[in-house]
Every structure is written in structure tokens, then in C-alpha cells.
Amino acid sequence: MNDVLTPPTQNPDAAQVPLRPLGKVLAVTSGKGGVGKTFVSANLAAALAKRGHKVLVLDADLGLANLDVVLNLYPKITLHDVFTGKARLDEAILPAPGGFSVLLAGSGMVEYSRLTSEVRNEFLRVMNSLVPNYDVVILDTGAGISDVVLFAVSLASEVLMVATPEPTSLTDAYATIKVLVGQQQRQVIRVIINQATRPGSGAAITNQLQQVLDRFVVTGLNQPIRLVHLGDIPVDPEVRQAIMRRQLMMQATPGCPAGMALTQLARNLEDSVIPRAA
């Protein structure tokens, strides 16, 4: 499980070159912003930590980071400091509420709006150092299909696509999945439907996305693509309350409907991609 990545050869299109994904790394991504991706990353980490896993969340939304806001943390050292050699990696790793660790990125840094060879190589160096020390590393990526986002996703062994039932979210999720399949040869992508309005709706939505992929993408690529419905997170007023209070929901109200759904998501991951904690 402790695979090591090596930098790809210098190539202006390096973000499009499929890399051998690191084991036990989950990329939480989305087609568009505002669907609750960071909320899912943080609370899923807490749910996995509660089940005995050693977890780290890395804020891979370089330049537009907001994991610190969700967790109410005020880091003095960020991933930017590690990338630029101003701090050691171990100095940037912080304990988070919920029993997991975090590596936070800086916000508003235009130098991370595009993938340079320096950013790519530093990211690889950091990941190779982190992965052997944790049961699970969660990458909270940016939304969409920028080269920085696609590179971060390429480092993961599993992709968790977060979407809401809104048509714009589903359209952008489909577009992102299509790019991941075409550029990274992804064959399995796990889908989480956030803000689900009724039980069972997420499975139906995932099935609809699968049908569209089968019709318009699989036929052209001649390779299988399987969307796995990992689970739903229902509409729950406790989610908004936790976000507004800058509290981790899995700490504040773990027994609410959304909290129980996240606990089930953690169980589902154990049943499919993460070995159960000893």
C-alpha cells in the first residue's frame, strides 16, 4: 500500500499524464464549488478517526484554501511554507478537532493558480513523505478540471466525487468524470450525493449518471467506467449550524441525520477500499 510516486518527465502537459496513484489516498473532489466538498472531507476524516484510523487531511485546493475555516484553525505554518523551504513538513501538520491531522494550504496565492514543475515536484515530495505515516490521507481538492486539481486527483488511489441533486452540480460532475476517465484512465469513481432530499435519491442519481456515461463516453473509449454510489448525506439543518459556528459537525452533533450518514460512509469505505482498523 505504500507506493511511491516519481515525478513525470518534464512535459508541458504533465497534468494530463496518468501517474501511478499512491495507495490509501482518497481525493475528495467535485465538478463545481459550493457542494460541500470540504465539509465532507473534514467530517469523513473525523468519522474514520473515530473508527480507529490514523487520518490526515491535506488541503489540496492550493490558493483558495478554506479547510482552516471549516475547522476554526489559525495556522502559523502552511503548505506554502513547506513548498518554499521556510518550514519543515512536520512543523506544518496540525491536530484537528475530531482526532485527525491536517496540513493546511495558504489562501489567495496566485502562484498556485497553475501547475508549474516546482509545484508538481514539491507536491510529490510532500505526498511521498506523508503517505507511509497514515492509514488514510484525504486530499480536499479544488473543484473543476484545472491542471492543479487534476494533478492532485492523479495522486489518489480512489476518487470520491461529491455532488448535489441540482442539475448544475450533476452536469459539472459528469464533465469532470469524463475528463478523469479520458486523462487518467479512471475506471471506478465513487459518488457521494450531498443535500439529498429523500432516501434512495442518491442511488438513482448515480444510476442516471452511469447511463449517460455508458451512452456517450464508454462507447467512444472502449473501456469500462463504473460509478459506485458510496452514500448520501441528507439535508440537515445541523450542517449549516455547524458551518456557521465553525464547528466540526461530527464533534458537535454526531447523532444528527447527516452525522449518521457520514458514519455510514466511513463504514462503506471500510467495506470497499480501506482496511478496517485493528
Least Cα distance to 60 among 118, 102, 31 occurs for 102
The secondary structure element, H or E, covering residue 28 is strand 25-30
What are the C-alpha distances in Å from 239 to residues 31, 39, 190, 249, 275? Answer: 21, 9, 22, 7, 28
> Is residue 107 classed as helix, strand or coil in its secondary structure?
strand
Is the domain spanning 19-271 CATH 3.40.50.300? The answer is: yes
Q: What is the pLDDT along the chain (278 residues), one digit of tens a residue?
A: 444 454 444 444 444 444 567 779 999 999 999 999 999 999 999 999 999 999 999 999 887 778 999 999 999 999 989 999 999 999 999 999 999 999 998 765 667 778 889 989 999 999 999 999 999 999 999 999 999 999 999 999 999 999 999 999 999 999 999 999 989 999 999 999 999 999 889 999 999 999 999 888 876 666 788 999 999 999 999 999 999 999 999 999 999 999 999 999 999 999 988 888 76
DSSP for 79-104?
HHHHHTTSS-HHHHEEE-TTS-EEEP
Domain boundaries, the chain: 19-271
> Is residue 31 classed as helix, strand or coil in its secondary structure?
coil
Contact 29, 162 (CB under 8 A): yes
